[in-house]
Chains A and B, each alone.
Chain A
Amino acid sequence: MASESTNTTGIQSKGNGRVIAYGLIALAVVLFGLAYADGYGKLAIAPMDQFKVTPLFGGDTIAWYTPTNVTFWLGMSILSIFALMVMGTRGRAVIPSRGQSMAELAYGFVRKMVEDVAGKDALPYFPFIFTAFLFILSANFLGLIPSSFTTTSHIAVTAILAMGVFLTVTVVGFVKSGFGFLSLFWVASAPLALRPVLAIIELISYFVRPVSHSIRLAGNLMAGHAVLKVFAGFAGAMGLAGIAPILGVVAIYGLEMLVSAIQAYVFTILTCVYLKDALHPHH
């Protein structure tokens, strides 16, 4: 549809032809899959199976060092970041190529976010924040490849990220302002009688931060992928009528791409907000 509308009239027929050809191929694959599906006529949905951690080279036990599908997809994350940020910028051109433009865009986006939200003195932490952003973004999008594994849908991964942010921010706060950092919890603008109550609330909310920070990311991705799987399961069970849930899968897939980008953004900007609290604890 998009290519149809953006094509000029001269090449429109060619673009239409290509769209139709792709559509026919997709339809043939879907019909073939529906006709020969394993669970044909049965509702066999196991939406959580996609999150299982399995050893990469067989075996049943998972020790801390065993290479698993987690390892593989983390490696893919590293590779995609390397491809974008290193291979993409290898031209070092003043007038950038497409890849370099994307790398510069990502760089400028996060750098500006750090500077705007957390202030200029937060720029030394920019490499760490950029690392988190690119990791989450690449893991989210890699997870959208059918039958892949989404590392950021696991609470273990997001909890480590969130705890890393929490501990760093707390340490930075105490190092920068000493006990003055505690004024973050002492709302000087509130009436004196309310301040102890507010301090307790602020303290609780401070310690809940890493929990919400990590569960927000993992929960969003897990839910989205589970829904995709459920719809796919319906498609498998409904035979030729499965075309309807497949359209649903397509729609939700689009939504999930949005979620992937937005959750990476949200995680990053919250990190910046927490960092701002640490650098400037006075309200």
Chain B
Amino acid sequence: MAENATNDSVSVAHASGPGMPQLDFATFPNQIFWLVIALVAIYFILNRIALPRIAAVLAERQGALTNDLAAAEELKQRAVEAEAAYNKALADARSEASKIADETRAAMQVDLDKAIERADADIAAKAAESEARITEIKASAVRSIQEVAADVAGDIVAAVAPGQKVDAKALAAAVATRVKG
């Protein structure tokens, strides 16, 4: 079997012509002719259509990337600016608020002072009035006591010495000196 096989292969190899078709120089002009045509065709396809197109796409992509990066940078810059503006506004608002608070406090203080002054004056007037009335009441009380004392003294004199005339004026004077005494 093996022997047969090798014999067959040899015979087939002989039948299929001498060696390598690569060295059959008769086909060379044909191959070279068509190869040159193919290479020229490929070169024109690439150089005229494919390469400019791919180069354009790559350039466009690069441009898009650059633009996007620049836009991102600009947006970042604007965000920083916005933050600064926000902080400034916040500080302004704080100082404004404290100013308003101060003004309000000062105005209220003025009002308060006025009100306290008025209240003090009222209180002083009322106190003076009350004092006057107290003095008056005291005086009237003293007078009443003197009258009562004179009456009681008259009654005592009548009881101790009946028939004796009581001089009202002398009695009143005596009581007055006693009360003062």
Contacts and interface: CB of A to CB of B under 8 A. Distances in A.
Interface of A: 42-46, 48-49, 51-53, 62-68, 70-71, 74-75, 77-78, 81-82, 85-86, 89, 92-94, 96, 100, 103-104, 107-108, 126-128, 130-132, 134-135, 151, 153-157, 160-161, 218, 222, 237
Interface in B28-78: 28-39, 41-43, 45-47, 49-51, 53-54, 56-58, 60-61, 64
Given A62-B26, A65-B33, A92-B56, A134 B8 contact: no
Contact of A86 (B12, B28, B32, B49): B49
B57 A104 contact: yes
Given A42-B8, A92-B56, A78 B38 contact: yes
Given A92-B53, A154-B22, A42 B32 contact: no
Contact of B27 (A74, A108, A156): A156
B interface: dominant SS: helix
Kindly state the interface size class of chain B when it binds its partner: 35 or more
Given A51-B21, A157-B31, A237 B5 contact: yes
Contacts of B4: 42-43
B41 A52 contact: no
Contacts of A81: 42, 45-46
B23 interface: yes
B32 to A, nearest CB: 6
Nearest to A95: B61
B32 A160 contact: yes
Given A45-B12, A48-B21, A78-B42, A93 B57 contact: yes
A89 B16 contact: no
Nearest to B63: A94
Contacts of A49: 16, 21
A127 B21 contact: no
A103 B5 contact: no
B162 interface: no
A70 B39 contact: no
A103 B9 CA distance: 45
Contacts of B61: 94
B170 interface: no
A128 B39 CA distance: 9
16 contacts: A43-B6, A53-B27, A68-B30, A68-B31, A70-B27, A70-B31, A85-B45, A85-B50, A100-B57, A103-B50, A107-B54, A131-B42, A131-B46, A135-B38, A154-B21, A155-B23
Given A86-B45, A154-B22, A70 B34 contact: yes
Contacts of A161: 35, 39
Contact of B42 (A77, A89, A154): A77
B9 A43 contact: yes
